[in-house]
């Protein structure tokens, strides 16, 4: 498990996925090649399923493009832990089924080389020798996340015959 640490605030969606590719790359495999291209060109080649990103305030600000959340979910990123998230990105991550953990304390405590482990069910994140709890999502959002994203959630409702 690797931790990618980007401590700066206001990492925007252009840094996470450049706008010039937004209408030519829409699927997971197309997107992951350019993820974080203008922030950390080595990320796309290095990231693996189960990895974690740790970031500062207002992570994911800017555009409503979903390529960052979709791409990170496609890779199998375990979670993004940040001091705070921009709202459209936060929504988008729920829609993609990507786990976001808002824990300024965990971000503050982290230093390079610390082992980070996440237990979403317990609402806990372990950083080195310390455990931080994070608030659970509201039920409505938790259900979407549990179903693997908004469209899987809707599909499930359709097949259950609940209607929508």
Partner 1 sequence: MGETFAIKILSRAAGKKVREGEILFVEPDYILTHDNSSAIIGKFESTVPGGRVKYPGKIAIVLDHVIPAASSKHAAGHKKVREFVKEQGIVNFYDIGTGVCHQVMPEMGLVKPGSIVVGSDSHTCTYGAFNCFATGIDRTEAAGIWITGRTWFKVPQTINIELTGAFTAGVSAKDLILTIVGDVGAGGANYMAVEFNGPAVGGLRMCDRMTIANMGIEMGAKIAAFPANSETSKYFENMDLDITDAVWSDFDAEYARTLEYDLENIVPVIACPHQVDNVVPVEKMAGLKIDQILLGTCTNGRVEDLKAAADILRGEKIHSSVRMLVAPASRMEYLKAMKMGIVQDLVSAGAVVLPPGCGPCLGAHQGALAPGEICLSTANRNFKGRMGEKEAEIYLSSPETAAVSALTGEVRDPREVLR
Binding site for partner 1 (CB under 8 A): 9-10, 12, 14-15, 18-20, 22-24, 26, 37-38, 57-58, 61-66, 69-70, 84, 86-88, 91-92, 95-96, 138, 140-141, 149-151, 154-155, 158, 164
Minimum distance from residue 53 beta carbon to partner 1 (Å): 17
Q: Nearer to partner 1 by C-beta: 119 or 158?
A: 158
Q: Nearer to partner 1 by C-beta: 69 or 103?
A: 69
Tokens of 104: 């300024």
Helices (H), the chain: 13-16, 28-32, 43-46, 67-75, 87-96, 104-109, 139-146, 150-160
Minimum distance from residue 34 beta carbon to partner 1 (Å): 11
Q: How far apart are CA 30 and CA 21, in angstroms?
A: 9
Minimum distance from residue 56 beta carbon to partner 1 (Å): 10
Minimum distance from residue 1 beta carbon to partner 1 (Å): 27
Q: Nearer to partner 1 by C-beta: 10 or 124?
A: 10
Q: How far apart are CA 164 and CA 146, in angstroms?
A: 18
Q: Nearer to partner 1 by C-beta: 126 or 137?
A: 137
Q: Nearer to partner 1 by C-beta: 96 or 103?
A: 96
Task: Report the largest interatomic distance among the alpha carbons of the chain, rounded to a whole angstrom.
Answer: 49
Cβ atoms 163, 156 nearer than 8 A: no
What is the SS3 assignment for 80? strand
């Amino acid at each position: 498990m690797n931790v990618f640490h980007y401590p700066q605030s206001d990492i925007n969606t252009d840094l996470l996925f450049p706008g010039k590719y937004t209408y030519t790359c829409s699927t997971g495999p197309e997107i992951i090649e350019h993820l974080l291209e203008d922030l950390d060109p080595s990320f796309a080649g290095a990231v693996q399923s189960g990895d974690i990103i740790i970031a500062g305030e207002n992570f994911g600000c800017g555009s409503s493009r979903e390529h960052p959340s979709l791409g990170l979910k496609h890779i199998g990123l375990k979670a993004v832990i940040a001091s705070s998230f921009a709202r459209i990105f936060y929504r988008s991550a729920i829609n993609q089924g990507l786990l976001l953990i808002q824990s300024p304390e965990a971000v503050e405590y982290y230093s390079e080389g610390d082992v980070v482990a996440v237990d979403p069910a317990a609402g806990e994140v372990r950083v080195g020798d310390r455990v931080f709890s994070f608030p659970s999502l509201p039920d409505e959002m938790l259900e979407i996340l549990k179903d693997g994203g908004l469209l899987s959630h809707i599909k499930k409702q359709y097949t259950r015959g609940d209607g929508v």
